[in-house]
Amino acid sequence: MTNISINKLHEFKDHPYKVLDNDEMNSLIESVQEHGVMSPLIVRPLEGTTDQYEIISGHRRFRAAQKAGLSEVPALIRPVSRDEAAIMLVDSNLHREHILPSEKAFAYKMKYEALRHQGTSSQLGTKLRTDELIAQENGESRNQVQRYIRLTNLIPELLDLMDEGKIAFSVGVELSYLPPEIQQDLFEIIDREDCTPSYSQAYRLHKAFNDHVLTREGLWAVMSEEKPNQRERIVLPRKAFDGVLPKGYSKEDAEAFIMDAIKHYNEYRHRKCDRGVSR
């Protein structure tokens, strides 16, 4: 173990785990400020350099040390290859208590690609397929590992909705088969209409795409179906506000204008009530 300058450390390229500036990070920063970094980072020498290092384990501690103003941190140097480091990185975080679907998806993909790059399963000392090996090590089925890896084909906006629990895992898998441009159209509908696809809808969109019959009109037709758990919405035609909304207002401007108008009207009604005036 040795102390390494913060300036000589680099995050592992494309590592799958999110380092969030949240309450947990703030607590970690306070701990680092008071006690320093108690558990050393694990790093490897960065190829093509003489004194630069890539972090394998300890990205959150590294961020906390940066924010705490430390100039160096304790680290263990491991002279391993990129593939070996990728496997170590994935395994060091995969069994955390809280792990997001997107993190697990990209972690499985990173480990899958590293194992495949290292060699065949026979060279790795096992007759298992690569996805079977990952599944066995993590208590998953091979199909479940494949489904997680499929999620890496989702656009970031849909992945964020999965991480937030707004889109179910099975729905995300079906949507991952759609090309990025259709996924983007879908996200715009989700964002605009405040609705998310059910599994049935996602499955039909996937099937329609496979059958080469999915269009933007078809996408809208599926997503505009009313679902039992769908939030009730009030829809008013734009022409209802002709002569009321300022000219040139965008959809977002119009929504803000209407919400402000409702807010001011409610305040006006409450003032009348306080004066004993009938509504």
Task: Write the burial class of residue 197 (CB in 10 Å: 0-12 exposed, 13-18 middle, 19+ buried).
Answer: buried
pLDDT for 98 equals 83
Query: For residue 67, how many other CB atoms are within 10 A of its CB?
Result: 15
Residue with tokens 């590293």: 114
Asked if residues 176 and 154 have their Cβ atoms less than 8 Å apart, the reply is yes
Closest CA to 61 of 91, 25, 88: 25
pTM of the model: 0.75
Question: pLDDT tens, 23-55?
Answer: 999 999 999 999 999 999 999 999 989 899 999
Q: pLDDT confidence of 234, banded at 50, 70, 90?
A: low
Q: For 146-182, what is each residue's pLDDT tens digit?
A: 999 999 999 999 999 999 999 999 999 999 999 999 9
The side-by-side arrangement of strands in the sheet containing 2-5 is: 2-5, 72-77, 41-45, 53-57, 9-10
Other C-beta atoms closer than 10 Å to the C-beta of 7 total 9
- Residue 121 confidence (pLDDT): 45
Helix (H) or strand (E) holding 73: strand 72-77
Q: Considering the domain 1-80 in this protein, what is its CATH number?
A: 3.90.1530.10
- pLDDT tens-digit map of 59-99: 999 999 999 999 999 999 999 999 999 999 999 888 777 88
